[in-house]
Amino acid sequence: MVQKYQSPVRVYKYPFELLMRAYEMRFPTCDMIPIIKETEIIEEEISGGGAVHMVDRRAKLNVDVPYLLKKIMGVEYLLFRQRNTKDLRGRTLRIEAWNESFENRVEITEYCVYSVHPENPDWTCFEQTANLDIKNFFGFEGTAEKIAIKEYSKSIEKSADIMEHFVELLRNQGITHVPPWIEPENSVDIIEKEIKIVEIADTSAEKLRRKSSTKQGLEMMEDKKQDPASKLEQGYIQMFLGKLEPMQESRLVQLKKCMSELQKGKAPSDPVMLRFLRAREFNVEKAREMLTASLVWRKKHGVDKILSEYQIPSVVRDYFPGGWFHEDREGRPVYHLRLGQMDVKGIIRSIGEEGLTKLVLHICEEGLRLSEESSHRLNKPITTWSMILDLDGLNMRHLWRPGVKALLHIIEICEANYPETLGRVLIIRAPRVFPILWTLVCPLIDETSRGKFLFYAGTEGGHRGENFAMSPGGLRDYIPEDCIPDWLGGPANTGIPEGGLVPKSLYMTPQEFEKDQSPGPHLMDNSCYQSIALTKGQVHEVLIQNNDKGSVITWDFDVMKHDLVFTVFRTKEVVPDKLTVPGTNSTTISADPMQYTSIGRGWKEGSEYHRVEVPIVCHDGESIQGSHVTNTTGSYILQWSHFDRATMTGSDKGGTQDMWDTITHPQHKAKVMYYYEVLNSLDYRGSMTSLQSTQSGFSNISKISGQQSTSGVSSGVSSLISESTTRNLDVLES
């Protein structure tokens, strides 16, 4: 497996020329870099005007490896090459490095760039990328990989300190300014020679390199089209996101770049991406899958609108014993929940499982907002919130089956969409019945989150009074004393409702409650999105019979798993059994996903059917929007088909038969959530140019679902409970 490293942008608040003077003091050897025993210059070129200076060095490295491994390797030192090309005119230094020792067994490539800060010419930026590929290393591949990553991480952490050390040495020598390079006379001839030197340097390096890994790193870091907002500065990470290890910083940079490309410049915030990375132990691909699924979920259920649109029901205001109150000793917002005083049955019979789910989502969104506010107010990274869970009064009445079912459903939603938001859960005054509830809940909480649950084991004598709140190991170790609630022996009046029995007059009708408890989607039922899954030999089609020339067909879909191909066709054949779309002159019918395309096998493209939009390959995690202005009446087909890169021929000329060739690989399902709409030509006449597209446009998942032309965005989330959990629930009294 290839290990990749991509650094955040490190900013040195020194001019480029001064920093280069400090950098050159590292050669031929440096006491602060003991791993380098000696260096020798293999090749050196300097342009006539001195603007371009290329140096190719070989370095001997004394890597800290186990004695046995050194004996097997049969070498005392490892040889590395480093080619530096400094361009004083362009104010850049490019560094390429690769290993010469064991090049057939191990490939290590590195590319670094020093350049002028885009917003401050007196500052210098540093970026770094590296690849490590251990193919075969005497059976010690795992050990060699760990050693390489360890050594590389140590060098990354030291590099900034080393540079600052040499800048300080220059300052002690009275050198605080190095004048910029000045263009000499006869600069045209000199520039031509310098270009040749750079070309020679690139050509020589290309011959020496086994692969173009460093060249790819160069293209990645110098890509002019790359959105600057997709980059991260190291100082920003440490100030606003917290201290991360070098490889963790790299994973965050990689995920941000990936999500920026998928969401077209509107990726989630950096704290959100870091939370999902931590939830997946900094595995970029797993974090991307989890985050993409969560973004689709948020869009589908309009979660971004909850804080502004959610209206707290009166029964929640009066009888739900939970609320936010101040911060803990680390500055995190604290949510207090007196679960033992909560009438679970009364709350659910009044607002339903859907209402309770919306309430919990509102609490989670509030927690994110309050954490961000605390971070800005205290000027330190705060990305989580704490909870005090008071279980005094918990009994078998709380194990009412619909209530436990709702709790398990909510935990699943929170685990999937709000990972790493809880910093600590203080569980206090747990009664004997609690282990039963914990047995049901525990399997749904990941191991990392379970480690944040702290159970108070105080004596019963201090159960309610001052001893409980103020004793060593009690709440005062985590909560400021003046913020401890009065019901726990503290001085604070939180204003949180005490709970109690909900009057039956506030209950839903039996019919409403039965509908709420029935299987199927409930959360925001008026969704205009549909979800489908495609495997080998499957396509999904939406057929639109259009009688309105000039109408606009629009689509909006999110790829939730695997890759697929999206195409728009127009046919002469009218689809029978058409279903009229209310309020339009169009009709639509969805083909059975188990069937092949409605386009006949014998039909010829350009005769019986036309491809009106160029087919596009849509990748896992992408959100895509587009439109097509109809130039004629007739039947239009929106088609999604399964795609596998390994078997894609790339041919577009074979008509329908080629489409069957692209639908392959039964082991993987492609999943997509889509919405489409036909806009009347009269409403958009005069603005056709802005809507028309020669191929489907790419866009982000909207942060505000209400921006779309829909009657309402969302559908339900079905709670999937394991068979073992269901069996446990069946033993509870209903």
| Residue after which a domain boundary falls, among 191, 223, 255 | 223
**Please, which contacts does 268-273 make with residues 24 or more away whose CB atoms are closer than 8 Å?**
268/295, 270/232, 270/237, 270/240, 270/241, 271/240, 271/241, 271/372, 271/381, 271/383
Q: Say whether both 296 and 344 belong to one domain.
A: no
Residue 386 has pLDDT above 90, yes or no: yes
CATH number at residue 278: 1.10.8.20
Residues 538 and 618 in one domain: yes
What residues pair up with 454 in beta bridges, in sequence order? Answer: 426
The tokens 């030197």 sit on which residue? 197
**pLDDT score, position 669:** 81
The answer to whether residue 211 scores a pLDDT higher than 90 is no
Residues 272 and 187 in one domain: no
If asked whether residues 539 and 662 sit together in one domain, one would say yes
**Structural domain includes residue 363:** yes
Say if 726 falls within a structural domain.
no
Range from 186-195, 395-404, 646-655 carrying the lowest mean pLDDT: 646-655
Could you report the per-residue pLDDT of 93-104, keeping only the tens digit for each?
Answer: 999 999 898 888
Query: Which pLDDT score is estimated for 359?
Result: 95
Last residue of a domain, one of 301, 323, 345: 301
CA-based nearest residue to 285, from 29, 574, 2, 47? 2
Which domain-ending residue is among 251, 276, 301? 301
Give the residue with greater pLDDT, 403 vs 707: 403
Range of the domain at 291: 235-301
Whether 299 shows a pLDDT value over 50: the answer reads yes
Q: Same domain, yes or no, for 106 and 66?
A: yes
Confidence label for 261 from pLDDT (cuts 50, 70 and 90): confident
| 473 shares its domain with 331 | yes
CATH at 597:
2.60.120.680
Tell me how far apart the alpha carbons of residues 289 and 560 are, in angstroms, rounded to a whole number.
Answer: 8
The pLDDT confidence band at residue 289, using thresholds 50, 70 and 90, is: very high
According to the per-residue pLDDT averaged within each range, which of 388-402, 662-676, 700-714 is highest? Answer: 388-402
Residues 6+ apart with CB under 8 A from 709: 554, 677, 679
**Count of domains in the chain?**
4
Predicted confidence (pLDDT) at residue 723 exceeds the cutoff of 60: no
CA dist 113 and 201 (Å) reads: 16
Residue 677 has a pLDDT of: 82
The Cα 527–Cα 521 span in angstroms is: 10
CATH of the domain at 160: 3.30.530.20
Is 241 within a domain? yes
Omega of the bond leading into 28 within 30 degrees of 0 (cis):
yes
Q: How does DSSP assign 243-301, residue by residue?
A: ---HHHHHHHHHHHHHHHHHTTT-PPPHHHHHHHHHHTTT-HHHHHHHHHHHHHHHHHH
**Average pLDDT value for residue range 538-556:** 87
Q: Tell me if the pTM is above 0.75.
A: no
pLDDT at position 67 is: 58
